[in-house]
Amino acid sequence: MDNFDTDAVDSVLCVSGSRLVKSGFLCTTNFTDNLVTFINAGGGSLKKEGELRVCVESDGCFEGGDVLRTGDYLVDLHFAEIVNTNGPKGMRLFDVFMQEEKASVLSEVDIYSIVGANKPLQVVDVKVSVGKDGAIFIRFDGICGSPIINGICIKHATNLPESQGEHGFLMCNNCGTEVEISSTQQKIIRMKSMAKYEKKIEELRIQCRLKTDECYEAWMSLTATNENLERVRVELDNRSFEKLLLDQAIEKEAAKFRDLSSQYERDKKLWGIAIDELGRKIKTMKEEHCQLSFEAHECVDSIPELNKMVYAVKALGNIRVFCRCRPLSKGEVSAGYATVVDFSAAKDGELGLLASGSTKKIFKFDRVYTPKDGQVEVFADASPMVISVLDGYNVCIFAYGQTGSGKTFTMEGTEQNRGVNYRTLEQLFRTVEERKETSTYNIFVSVLEVYNEQIRDLLATSPTSKKLEIRQTSEGAHHVPGITEAKVENIKEVWEVLQAGSNARAVGSNNVNEHSSRSHCMLGIVVKAKNLINGECTKSKLWLVDLAGSERLAKTEAQGERLKEAQNINRSLSALGDVISSLATKSGHIPYRNSKLTHLLQDSLGGDSKTLMFLQISPSEQDVGETLSSLNFATRVRGVELGPAKKHIDTGELQKLKLMLEKAKQELRSKDDALHKLEENVLNLECKAKGKDQLCKNQQGTVNELESQLESKTELCRLLEKQLLQLSERMKGKEEICSNFQRKVKELENRLMEREQSESMTQYKVKELENTLKERTQEFEVHSGMLQQKNIELEQKLRQHETLFSAEKLRTTPLNPRISNMENIQDMDPPSLRCLKMNVGSSDLLKGTDSLRELRRKRQSQSKGTKNNFLLSASLLEKKSMTAESNKAKHVDPSRALARITRSTKPFSSNQRASSNNKTNRDQVQGSKEGSSKLKLWLR
């Protein structure tokens, strides 16, 4: 009975899915002690290349110390039912299958069938896998026919034979000792590591795939974010640009506003001062006015006759008469003519004319200019009236007098002594310039003459046959359609226009004066004004008229055409006188249409218009008659006819009162004018102030609005900048993640490549090992055939020897020392005897066994590398076991011994053998077990 080490068995299998029951199985050890086969009584059938399902029952079947006997059942087993027809015979499969952690590591799978009694059929390419439920699936790919599977044995990897191939070495992590490991173990390790690596690679692949997906998603999100960011940037740029424009606009507006404000403040101060000043003045004037009115009333009350004069003055309204006397001409001086005009009271507006005899006639006018008074003085008094045309009043200034009295000199003047016309326009432009902040003006000039009751356009560039007529507009204004109206912008243009008119003027000559104008020369100035503050528009007209000479017909001695000219001139002048008279008497009908002159002047004579007449007189005694006539006419125009009688009444209180009244009236008029002007100025200033206030308010509103817009834009900009910052940070994060992913992917790819390379190397090595294995297996088969042959031969020889021995025994006598020995042998117990027999008879067999051992030793010595302690001890044990075996072989049947020899090619089996054969060697076996367990630990 052989001892069996149950630790060597990991799994007990049954066929056909039957549950293993310890008692219901035949169990035996096989030829070799280390191989245990459990056979199901029923057996299982295997379909052709089918799948055999077996159950694993690893617990409870065997306990440590269980003894299984060899041979008790082995003989009775019938494996010979089915013959494996095509499958390889006597081959051993050393494939190692690593399954789940839980499952055992399978070192080998032996499948027995009828190849020979108790000889296992080793099948190549058996696929074994362990499922999760513990079931083992075995697939037979290389077997044909219907073999009955009698038993399957699965063992631990620790039991793998050493002799199967090359050995490898492992470094112990604890002590650094190199441990030799068999190829199968290497395979296990490789498989383990490969499986681990494959698992890891698979995990890494999955991880890589996930990371790639993440990367892709991150990349897409990054792209989308970048696009958004780009859009936001563009928008931000636009907003910034808009903001910049707005800032600039606001800056401009603010600068404007500042200018306006400062201007406004300055103006306001000035206006305040001016208004205060004006208020003061008005107050003073009002007081004076009250005082004067009071005085005047007192006078009027005291002198009832003066009432008529007051009314006449009031009725005259704005008609003023300035009397100007020219100096004696050279001709007159040389002719010895005396001056008949007295200027002693000229400052008071009085002029005396020494008429025939010694009587002196006094004439009173608004102004009296002596021959010494120049153009400047004359215009200074006319200037306020001229300026009123800019305020919308119609004004008419005309020069009346006999031929050669200086009308043209006063109105036109010379280049060195400019007359009223030029100075008027100069003054207008000056005032326009002064008022440009508050008003705009357009000035148009037309120059025409009335000659023989016909109107001639003196500015017309080409002569036209069309007769110019006076027409009345729907607004009631009178104008001459088709007349040239030259727009003048500056004084230079004015001079050119005046020159053109002057040149075109019809000039004739007569006996009285060398260059006497026989027509009325009229300079019409139309002013279109717009008040920028209140938006008021006005159109007013100023006539500057150089009338034709007013000499008497008889004196000129004109005839024919000249007579006709003179008649027309006189008629028109008479018409002028009639109009003025009618105005003075407030007649219901004003005969404007009696002449072209009065018709043209209709808008500027009477009503609310202002009229100024320059009465031109000659100082010469030869013209005294004409001068008297002119003075009388002028007095009529002025409305107050101071008769010489009256003039000369110079007595008593009445005269004094008259003078006082006259003075008071004059002052009153001037004060009225000044007051009126001041009121106008105040009104204008108030309007301006209101306009400025409104403008200021509007500007303030605009500034407020712009400021709020700016604030909102700034806020928006701030928000956008914040967003941009956040997006940039996010983008940076994404980029970092992306780069990390890319780096990881690269690493994984590199590792994957390395793994693949190592895998391919491993596969290559595995293939090499397989080839080596095949070669070894073939060698082994050859050797086992030879051994069998030798075995048969040795058995035959043994039989022969036994036959010879028995024959010799019968024949020989006890005297033979050998026989005495045999007697001693007979006294021995049968096993000892058998042993002796074996010693004597099986010398050849032992020789054969020794030769096999020698071969094995040689192989071992050929194996590369040094052996570790464990393997050394294992080797020692093996030697011991070999010795024990050889001793044992003396007691066993030679055929069995041979069979053992064939199986003893596995190095580890020697340990088991030793333990099963001799209980005394159990300690050594224990040591071997410890070594084995150590090896397992290191392998793990």
Ligand X SMILES: Nc1ncnc2c1ncn2[C@@H]1O[C@H](COP(=O)(O)OP(=O)(O)OP(=O)(O)O)[C@@H](O)[C@H]1O
> Annotated binding site, which residues?
401-408
Q: Which is nearer to ligand X, 320 or 520 (CB)?
A: 520
The span of 162-170, 202-210, 397-405, 444-452 binding ligand X (CB under 6 A) equals 397-405
Distance separating the N- and C-terminal Cα atoms of the chain: 36
Q: Which is nearer to ligand X, 322 or 409 (CB)?
A: 409
Tell which one of 29, 70, 183, 408 touches ligand X (CB under 6 A): 408
Tell which one of 404, 524, 577, 907 touches ligand X (CB under 6 A): 404
Q: Which is nearer to ligand X, 155 or 596 (CB)?
A: 596
Total chain residues near ligand X (CB under 6 A): 18
The span of 147-155, 324-332, 750-758, 768-776 binding ligand X (CB under 6 A) equals 324-332
Q: Rounded distance, CA 378 to CA 386, Å? A: 12
Tell which one of 99, 513, 684, 742 touches ligand X (CB under 6 A): 513
Cα angle at 174 between 168 and 175, to 5 degrees? 75
Q: Which is nearer to ligand X, 502 or 873 (CB)?
A: 502
Handedness of CA 703, 706, 707, 708 (dihedral sign): positive
Does 409 bind ligand X (CB under 6 A)? Our answer is: yes
Selection from 520, 527, 455 nearest residue 485 by Cα? 527
Cβ contacts of 315 within 8 Å, gap of 6 or more: 583, 584, 585, 586, 639
- As measured in angstroms, the least distance from the Cβ of 326 to ligand X is 3
Q: Which is nearer to ligand X, 402 or 602 (CB)?
A: 402
Residue whose pair of structure tokens reads 């306020």 in the numeric block:
384
- As measured in angstroms, the least distance from the Cβ of 603 to ligand X is 25
Could you tell me whether strands 148-155 and 9-14 are parallel, antiparallel, or unpaired per DSSP bridges?
Answer: antiparallel
Q: Which of residues 726-765 bind ligand X (CB under 6 A)?
A: none
Tell me the C-alpha to C-alpha distance, in Å, between residue 306 and each of 55, 312, 313, 641, 666.
160, 10, 11, 13, 14
- As measured in angstroms, the least distance from the Cβ of 549 to ligand X is 4
- As measured in angstroms, the least distance from the Cβ of 407 to ligand X is 4
- As measured in angstroms, the least distance from the Cβ of 417 to ligand X is 8
The span of 282-290, 508-516, 533-541, 876-884 binding ligand X (CB under 6 A) equals 508-516
| Sequence-ordered strand ranges (E) for 141-212 | 148-155, 167-171, 178-182
Cα angle at 270 between 264 and 273, to 5 degrees? 140
Q: Rounded distance, CA 569 to CA 519, Å? A: 7
Cα 723 to its chain centre, rounded Å, is 9
Tell which one of 401, 577, 619, 848 touches ligand X (CB under 6 A): 401
- As measured in angstroms, the least distance from the Cβ of 421 to ligand X is 12
Q: Which is nearer to ligand X, 79 or 409 (CB)?
A: 409
Q: Rounded distance, CA 329 to CA 17, Å? A: 166
Q: Rounded distance, CA 931 to CA 940, Å? A: 14
- As measured in angstroms, the least distance from the Cβ of 562 to ligand X is 13
Provide the angle, in degrees to the nearest 10, between the axes of the packed helices 420-434 and 491-504: 160
Tokens found for residue 538: 């006005």
| Coil/strand/helix, residue 62 | coil
Q: Kindly report the backbone phi and psi dihedral angles of residue 435, in degrees, each rounded to the nearest multiple of 5, phi listed first.
A: -95, 10
Q: Which is nearer to ligand X, 405 or 905 (CB)?
A: 405
Tell which one of 44, 406, 639, 848 touches ligand X (CB under 6 A): 406
The span of 119-127, 264-272, 323-331, 430-438 binding ligand X (CB under 6 A) equals 323-331
Q: Rounded distance, CA 681 to CA 678, Å? A: 5
Tell which one of 155, 167, 407, 520 touches ligand X (CB under 6 A): 407
- Residue 520 DSSP class: E
Does 405 bind ligand X (CB under 6 A)? Our answer is: yes
Q: Rounded distance, CA 685 to CA 17, Å? A: 125
Does 508 bind ligand X (CB under 6 A)? Our answer is: no
- Residue 95 DSSP class: -
Cβ contacts of 80 within 8 Å, gap of 6 or more: 114, 117
- Full DSSP string of 623-683: GHHHHHHHHHHHHHHHT----HHHHH---HHHHHHHHHHHHHHHHHHHHHHHHHHHHHHHH
Tell which one of 167, 187, 326, 541 touches ligand X (CB under 6 A): 326
- As measured in angstroms, the least distance from the Cβ of 551 to ligand X is 8
Q: Which is nearer to ligand X, 182 or 516 (CB)?
A: 516
The span of 154-162, 447-455, 512-520, 648-656 binding ligand X (CB under 6 A) equals 512-520
- Full DSSP string of 805-871: HHHHHHHS-TTSHHHHHHHHHHHS-HHHHHHHHHHHHTHHHHHHHHHHHHHHHHHHHHS-S---HHH
Does 516 bind ligand X (CB under 6 A)? Our answer is: yes
- As measured in angstroms, the least distance from the Cβ of 344 to ligand X is 19
Q: Which is nearer to ligand X, 520 or 671 (CB)?
A: 520
Alpha-carbon Rg for the chain, nearest whole angstrom, is 77
Q: Which is nearer to ligand X, 408 or 905 (CB)?
A: 408
Tokens found for residue 440: 């705009």
Q: Which strands, in side-by-side order, build the sheet including 350-354?
A: 341-342, 350-354, 360-364
Q: Which of residues 527-586 bind ligand X (CB under 6 A)?
A: 549
The span of 283-291, 403-411, 691-699, 853-861 binding ligand X (CB under 6 A) equals 403-411
Q: Which of residues 457-486 bind ligand X (CB under 6 A)?
A: none
- As measured in angstroms, the least distance from the Cβ of 525 to ligand X is 20
Q: Which of residues 327-366 bind ligand X (CB under 6 A)?
A: 327, 329
Q: Which is nearer to ligand X, 382 or 846 (CB)?
A: 382
The span of 321-329, 457-465, 751-759, 894-902 binding ligand X (CB under 6 A) equals 321-329
Q: Which of residues 67-106 bind ligand X (CB under 6 A)?
A: none
Q: Which is nearer to ligand X, 142 or 331 (CB)?
A: 331
Tokens found for residue 737: 């993640």
The span of 250-258, 448-456, 510-518, 595-603 binding ligand X (CB under 6 A) equals 510-518
- As measured in angstroms, the least distance from the Cβ of 409 to ligand X is 4
The span of 187-195, 205-213, 326-334, 457-465 binding ligand X (CB under 6 A) equals 326-334
Q: Rounded distance, CA 105 to CA 158, Å? A: 9
Q: Across-strand partners of 136?
A: 54, 130
Does 517 bind ligand X (CB under 6 A)? Our answer is: yes
Cβ contacts of 749 within 8 Å, gap of 6 or more: 208
Q: What x/- string results for residues 600 through 619 when contact with ligand X is judged by CB under 6 A?
A: ----------------x---
Binding site as annotated, residues for ATP: 401-408
- As measured in angstroms, the least distance from the Cβ of 403 to ligand X is 4
- As measured in angstroms, the least distance from the Cβ of 329 to ligand X is 6
Q: Which is nearer to ligand X, 405 or 917 (CB)?
A: 405
- Full DSSP string of 465-506: -SPB--EE-TTS-EE-TT---EE--SHHHHHHHHHHHHHHS-
- As measured in angstroms, the least distance from the Cβ of 600 to ligand X is 19
Q: Which is nearer to ligand X, 317 or 371 (CB)?
A: 371
Does 620 bind ligand X (CB under 6 A)? Our answer is: no
- As measured in angstroms, the least distance from the Cβ of 428 to ligand X is 23
Tokens found for residue 697: 């308010």
- Residue 413 DSSP class: B
Q: Which of residues 145-184 bind ligand X (CB under 6 A)?
A: none
Q: Which is nearer to ligand X, 424 or 932 (CB)?
A: 424
Helix or strand (DSSP H, E) at 323: strand 319-325
| Site residues for ligand X per CB under 6 A | 326-327, 329, 371, 401, 403-409, 513, 515-517, 549, 616
